[in-house]
Amino acid sequence: MDRVLLVSTKTGALKELEKSLQGQYHVTSILSSDMNMKSSLGGFVPDCIVVYVEAIRRQKLFSLMDLREDDAFAELPLLLISDEDDRIIFEQNVEPKQDFQVDISASIKDIRLIIDRMIEASDRQKHILVVDDDVTALKTIRTYIEDKFKVTSVKSGRLAVKFLEKQVPDCILLDCFMPDLNGAQTLQIIRNMENGRKVPVVFLTGNSDKQMVMNCLSLHPSGFLLKPVKREDLIAKLNQVI
């Protein structure tokens, strides 16, 4: 399911738009007045951004301005919903500017159509972080998915944590059984990181140890796959959770 970041200056408009878009997209919504927008997103990286502004003031755009300066968000397509006066104020302050703009009277049907076109036209490749101490498993998974996704492979939970300090993947494939930090311990650390609170995590395991499986499941991952996993099952799961 495609992911949409919805930003609004009005609480009522935010809730109404979120309700209208839920079901067709994975929507995360946030008020433009949130002064630490990136932190509040918790690692959520959308496929596009939809911004609703009404009677806007420059100070209400500061956090969005900071977000658009971040490399992970600067290249994302952006739809602006506003009247003409607010469009001018937005363009004077936010870079990169919007890719599309519609009036606040636009129908949900038209908004959805533009979102679909923006996402379809975007060439951003989804990024998968694969964490496994088994080098053979890392190579196999990369072979399975590298034609469809950007892949980064690391051999330990600690290296995964270091990666997330600088980058936000679209999904993490995380082995349960690893030395030093196992999968459950690694995910607990990730969920306490600014870049890791909302990243989908799918556990992988070749071991049926009941207690370890229960520990992993208690952390509410997005999925759980047994190794050796079939290519079609892995790709289906990734498409489902991203």
Q: Residue ranges of the domains in the chain?
A: 3-121, 127-241
Token digits of residue 73:
């968000």
Predicted confidence (pLDDT) per residue in 134-179, tens digit: 999 999 999 999 999 999 999 999 999 999 998 889 999 999 989 8
CATH, domain 127-241, list 3.90.76.10, 3.40.50.300, 3.40.50.2300, 3.50.50.60: 3.40.50.2300
Predicted confidence (pLDDT) per residue in 4-30, tens digit: 999 999 999 999 999 999 888 989 999
> Quick one: three-class SS letters along 73-141?
HHCCCEEEECCHHHHHHHHHHCCCCCCEEECCCCCHHHHHHHHHHHHHHCCCCCEEEEECCCHHHHHHH
∠ Cα 95 74 56 (to 5°): 45
Predicted confidence (pLDDT) per residue in 33-79, tens digit: 898 888 888 888 899 999 999 988 888 899 999 999 988 898 899 99
pLDDT over threshold 90, residue 120: no
Domains 3-121 and 127-241 share a fold: yes
Q: Which CATH class is domain 3-121?
A: alpha beta
| Res 105: pLDDT | 93
Tell me the whole-structure pTM to 2 decimals: 0.74
| Mean pLDDT score across all residues of the chain | 91
